[in-house]
Chains A and B, each alone.
Chain A
């Protein structure tokens, strides 16, 4: 049976790993942040947007305006466009669109009413005639709007020298579009670009996708260092304190199997699972290690002892928390909760029913790891201290849900980004989506924004809508005299008879565009469910104002994530309160009179975290880690209130050390997100150690 047991653990691992590869479950794992968003129209919209050319640009600048610099930028262009995921950014106005806009010119842009009111046709025409006869360069007359009565759309300020784009006071530059979609493709294109421009001092280059690549690289290198520290601590724990290498191997196998099976099941339920769910899920699943320690140190693996109720209670309480949290509408937390339920359950089944058959030897030493018994502080003192801290913390606690503050601070890249934005004298641009039930309303909505914010770039606003058509047609009828006078005065000056026949002519039928027609003009339009959607670009300073329109949607993953978090917050708080209520009830039934003692394992860590909140704003990862610490705390509370002996303390101590190795070491990270997890884990571990060492026990002390 022992031999079979050993093989069962390994076999389970191999089978689950094989199924993982067979079903290609890993292909459902996404590195894109979009996966974390709820499955709504917005998610589809952002995915489509990510695939469009608006999103990923590459700017390259070569210092100097001399021939050498020009030659260099052209050579760079040639090399870069040879890369499979890079192309030169082309003009967005197609010939067909230009022709169409010219034909319907009088029905798109609004009329400048002041100019119309003060127009003297004869004088303006003479001025035009004068320019034609005296100007060195050719004067191009607009036959449809010769007096420029229509409001001119703002065009992008493009500077050229020797037929090439330039950046003021720096040199020549080029604008590319990147077509990479996944992190792997970003990585590939980043490396290819680096390879081409490497070592060139006078070349500046930037793309927003570099943030993904460089930040994930920095995070990976930081995590690698931390893994070394964590692994060293775990090896020390298992080899020096427990002196059982086989136990270490089996525990790792079990944790790996449970994580694989959780991934397998989750990827069958969801089409896409974020890498973050796996990272956090695997972290939570290591909590199961304390089930093993409790069984092991109480001799359940070396003697035939039957079934351990305390551990089962601990598992059920922890699982009930995650079951309740899984009802949240917030995708990230729902998926993490499901992952935790599956992996914790599988680990528990291993540790409770399989490990007793593996034949581990009992730990010989029965001494407490604490030399002296220092448990002299009364529960009431801890309770009072915690209560004062919790009440006082209400005055200083503040929350920071800005995801950017969790990001890696890539100073070098930020400097390059600013170099381009300042050099091009442009503000940072934001992209947004406009939606409507039909194409005409979509154009009307776009024109509303365009007229209110002339600097906005919304390609579809340059088409004819029923509103712009009707308004301009009315204006043209009311100024019929301009057209009549123009014909007469033009004749007097010698203009050919038919030259101005199309000028200010209201005779054009209203158009009904189809989706395909608009696409043929090179304008992005998509239909998701019942809505047509298009994109627009605007400077950051007016972006928030534009988001106020009910038909505008943000395309920023960060913003959608935060707003989805805000929407879910109330629900999450309700579920949290429900979970806490159920924990207290369960704890009461399990621990009976020791309920206050048990509750201290929840209250004291929270109080210590609230003390930390005095020095730092609390972010989403702090809260997440606090949940993990509380989940561990509940288990310890149940074990200790049932049997507060040396073995239980030792099991908890070892479990705390492995928790510190798993999470606490993140406190050494330079990445704010990881540090946030690490600091709370460390505070939690220290708090429970303090309770373990100094808090007077219950009557169950043996």
Chain B
């Protein structure tokens, strides 16, 4: 019996766990510059963990709390007070795990030649202009978020 429980537990962890190696490209209109970073995202059942390769910053999102750790410095942020950041994680998770219900509750969705375009329909339209992404069953080719202030962020899954 115990063996079955261990097996089911292990199996559950495996199907909820997912690792992505990514390249992040951010354009800031304020600086008129683009910044690139590489890192790993690890999705598990209850949390999302992001680790950058260059500076070893570790970001953990669990429920409504975002924990940032750089060396020994730890910071906690209540995401309910930062709806834009919270929306960013909701969006990222929903696209990666193809949670269309969630996407449709915030965006109008269209799809052309495999590339999906999302136009916000609620309060987030104050910050997000549009979202474009291309995802196959195995890979997130790209996800680009165009912000209202002309900034944009592009994430690509790399192998």
**Chain A residues packing against B (C-beta within 8 Å):** 70, 74, 91, 93, 95, 98, 129, 132-134, 136-138, 140-141, 143, 155, 157-160, 162-164, 493-496, 499
Contact = CB atoms under 8 A, between A and B. Distances in A.
A138 B55 contact: no
A93 B147 contact: no
B127 A140 contact: yes
Nearest to A141: B30
Contacts of B90: 160, 163
Interface residues of B, number: 41
B126 interface: yes
B26 interface: yes
Interface in B77-113: 80-81, 84-86, 88-90, 94, 99, 101-102, 105-106
B104 to A, nearest CB: 9
B52 A494 contact: no
Nearest to A495: B30
Closest 5 CB pairs of A and B: A163-B102, A163-B105, A137-B88, A499-B30, A137-B85
A93 B39 CA distance: 38
A472 B28 CA distance: 30
Given A163-B106, A496-B32, A134 B57 contact: yes
Interface string B132-159: 0000000000000101010101000000
B31 A494 contact: yes
A62 to B, nearest CB: 15
B81 to A, nearest CB: 7
B33 interface: yes
Contacts of A163: 90, 94, 101-102, 105-106
Contact of B31 (A98, A140, A495): A495
Given A162-B102, A163-B105, A163-B106, A137 B89 contact: yes
B149 to A, nearest CB: 7
Interface in B21-41: 24, 26, 28-33, 35, 37, 39
B2 to A, nearest CB: 26
Interface of B: 24, 26, 28-33, 35, 37, 39, 50, 52, 55, 57, 59, 64, 80-81, 84-86, 88-90, 94, 99, 101-102, 105-106, 122-123, 125-127, 145, 147, 149, 151, 153
A329 to B, nearest CB: 49
A138 B64 contact: no
Contacts of A141: 30, 149
A548 B24 CA distance: 56
B105 A132 contact: no
Nearest to B22: A136
Nearest to A74: B101
Contacts of B149: 140-141, 143
B84 A140 contact: yes
Given A136-B50, A141-B30, A496-B30, A155 B35 contact: no
A71 B69 CA distance: 36
A98 B32 CA distance: 27
Nearest to A146: B30
A95 B148 CA distance: 14
B122 A494 contact: no
B131 to A, nearest CB: 12
A91 B31 contact: no
B29 A155 contact: no
B31 A496 contact: yes
Interface centre among A93, A95, A133 (most CB of B within 10 A): A133
Given A137-B84, A143-B149, 14 more contacts: A95-B126, A136-B37, A136-B39, A136-B52, A137-B88, A138-B26, A140-B127, A141-B30, A159-B80, A163-B90, A163-B94, A163-B106, A494-B33, A499-B30
Contacts of B29: 496, 499
A462 to B, nearest CB: 15
A160 B86 contact: yes
B80 A157 contact: yes
A91 B37 CA distance: 37
Contacts of B153: 137-138
Nearest to B155: A136
B147 A132 contact: no
Contacts of B101: 70, 74, 162-163
Contacts of B80: 157-159
12 contacts: A129-B31, A132-B31, A133-B35, A136-B59, A138-B145, A138-B153, A140-B149, A141-B149, A155-B81, A163-B90, A494-B31, A499-B30
B148 to A, nearest CB: 9
Interface centre among B55, B59, B126 (most CB of A within 10 A): B126
Contacts of A91: 122-123
A70 B32 CA distance: 42
B55 A134 contact: yes
Nearest to B88: A137
A495 B33 CA distance: 9
Contacts of B50: 136
Contacts of B52: 134, 136
Contacts of A132: 26, 28, 30-31, 35
B25 to A, nearest CB: 12
Nearest to A99: B126
B54 to A, nearest CB: 9
Contact of B147 (A70, A138, A155, A494): A138
Given A138-B26, A140-B149, A164 B81 contact: no
Contacts of B125: 95
A164 B28 contact: no
A93 B99 CA distance: 28
Contact of A138 (B94, B106, B151): B151
A220 B59 CA distance: 61
A70 B29 CA distance: 39
A93 B126 CA distance: 11
A298 B81 CA distance: 83
A155 B127 CA distance: 17
Nearest to B102: A163
Given A494-B33, A496-B32, A140 B123 contact: no
A143 B86 CA distance: 21
Contacts of B30: 132, 141, 495-496, 499
Contacts of B57: 134
Contacts of A143: 149
Contact of B24 (A70, A136, A160): A136
Nearest to A140: B84
B105 A164 contact: yes
A496 B86 CA distance: 28
Contacts of B122: 91
A163 B103 CA distance: 8
A143 B30 CA distance: 9
B95 to A, nearest CB: 13
Contacts of A493: 31
B93 to A, nearest CB: 9
Contacts of B37: 136
B73 to A, nearest CB: 12
A496 B151 CA distance: 13
Contacts of B145: 138
Interface centre among B31, B35, B59, B151 (most CB of A within 10 A): B31
Interface centre among A93, A95, A129, A162 (most CB of B within 10 A): A162
A615 to B, nearest CB: 52
